[in-house]
Amino acid sequence: MSLTTPALAGKLSGLQSSAIRDLLKLTARAEVISLAGGLPDAALMPRERIAAAAEEALRDPSVLQYTESPGWPGLREVLAARESARIGRAVPVEDVFVTHGSQQALSLLSEVLLDPGALVIVEDPAYVGALQVFRAAGARIVAVPLDGDGMRLDLLEDLLAAGERPAVVHTVSNFHNPGGVTLSPARRQRLAELSEAHGFWVIEDDPYGELWFDRPAPAPVASYSPQVIRLSSVSKILAPSLRVGWMTAPDRVCRAVELLKQGADLCGSALTHRIAATLLADTDWLTAHITTVRTTYATRARALVTATRAAFGDRIHCTDATGGMFVWADFTDGTDTATLLPAALDAGVAYVPGAAFAVSDAYRHSMRMCFTTADEATLTEAITRLSPAVG
Ligand code: PMP
């Protein structure tokens, strides 16, 4: 009898593994200083505080039980209070939905909001985790470039004027990954207005907003319209392994996501939800903790930006690093960052070429550098190594 190999779903044919993930395998060599990763610093994660909260939570046997699909109620209450303060409007507990990291919110939302072929607007360069999700949903993806004030809303308005009807506009509003920029207050308001006028969903993807360096991030896009779906997460302020993310969204979106969450994994972990609730509710401790993370990253970011500008002068243009985890740099002298990478690795430094985040533009002369996991001297050394490789 002849063997017939079973097929994978057709939608997989257009999907590729993340170029960054593949690259990270190459950069994991001990002698390479990697600016390529996108990870928060594990040394800054509050292990003892998490252990104490876990021990306390485990005294209650119900913490090991399944919990409600929208999340452990105690955590949703803490999050509703936090988001109400952030957004400047009372967010009811029913409008808060806890997910397995904010990445799961993106994935469930794409199923809830997108029919195959639906138009999704993303930023260029884009957060690749969102691109993967929207591609898997069979969306038609159109990219709108970033400038120093975030997404170019004039170009979004041109698309709308040309008759494009997006189902979703995705924006990383604060300290963009990978672009490093923040959406200006005027553009936030305009984006919310456009969403209400044209009837598209805005997904405001905000895992970095609390990691500001000089001044707090502007009021969220969600503060301008209750229709905006807002995502956040403890991954960058506490620890990614808790896998606690959340969204605030209108009730009918939350109920639709609930149906799909049941199919995806029934519910999150009451244990990590409870740990997150304990830490997020201890506001004095949390403020001090986040201040430590912010000021540590700010010092590292400044060292990287200073070294980069000193080494390359006007041959490079890089973001100021006002928060978050990344500096985006554009070579103005024609240096091709993908071609440069093997020489950079030989010199002992890694970064992610801009092409990895490209949707429409090629970003051949750009790169993303992450400053979170190395100290100032190491970051400066990374640029000292990169400089002769560029030549
Ligand atoms: N959105 C953005 C813009 C991110 O950079 C990340 C993580 N790199 C996520 C969402 C997902 O984070 P998590 O699932 O850990 O909350």
CB 371 within 8 A of CB 304: yes
Question: What is residue 153's three-state secondary structure?
Answer: helix
CATH of domain 13-44+287-390: 3.90.1150.10
The set of residues, in sequence order, having a beta carbon less than 8 Å from that of 281 and lying 6+ positions away, is 78
Residue of the CA atom closest to atom 5 of ligand 1: 177
CATH of domain 49-281: 3.40.640.10
Q: Model confidence over 11-53: pLDDT tens digits?
A: 777 666 666 566 667 667 778 999 998 999 999 999 999 999 9
Whether residue 354 is predicted with pLDDT greater than 80 in this model: the reply is yes
Which residues have CB under 6 Å of ligand 1?
Answer: 38, 101-103, 127, 129, 172, 177, 205, 207, 233, 235, 240, 245
Q: Model confidence over 250-264: pLDDT tens digits?
A: 999 999 999 999 999
Q: Model confidence over 163-204: pLDDT tens digits?
A: 999 999 999 999 999 999 999 999 999 999 999 999 999 999
The Å distance, Cα 241 to ligand 1 centre, comes to 12
Domain range list for the chain = 13-44+287-390, 49-281
Whether residue 337 is predicted with pLDDT greater than 90 in this model: the reply is yes
pTM of full prediction above 0.75 = yes
Predicted pLDDT at 45? 98
Query: pLDDT exceeding 90 applies to what percent of the chain?
Result: 90
Per-residue pLDDT averaged across 70-92, rounded?
Answer: 97
Place of tokens 């949703």: 76
- β-bridge partners, 201: 168
How are strands ordered across the β-sheet holding 316-318? 316-318, 326-331, 366-370, 352-353
The Å distance, Cα 338 to ligand 1 centre, comes to 24
Predicted pLDDT at 14? 67
Q: How many whole angstroms separate alpha carbon 288 and alpha carbon 268? A: 28
The Å distance, Cα 207 to ligand 1 centre, comes to 6
